[in-house]
Amino acid sequence: MKDYLILIAGMGFVTFLPRWFPLFFLSKREIPKLLIEWLDLIPAAILSALLIPALVVGGEPKIMAFKPE
């Protein structure tokens, strides 16, 4: 049981560290206005990347079902 607790604590630490490290060190720096404007465009780019292929490629939708023979 103790091994599992150490394993879970280790996984939590390894997950938390990459998220905390940039936040801690970059929070004291001023973000350039150009970067903020660029980051505002990311949601539109993601939405476009998801929708445009579905709108451009026409025809009958392909159903990909797992059918082991």
Q: pLDDT tens digits for 29-38?
A: 898 999 999 9
pLDDT at 26 over 90: no
Distance CA 59, CA 29 (A): 50
Report domain extents, the chain: 2-51
Write out pLDDT tens, residues 41-56: 999 999 999 998 888 8
With a pLDDT cut of 90, the percent of the chain lying above it is 52
Q: Give the three-class secondary structure for 14.
A: helix
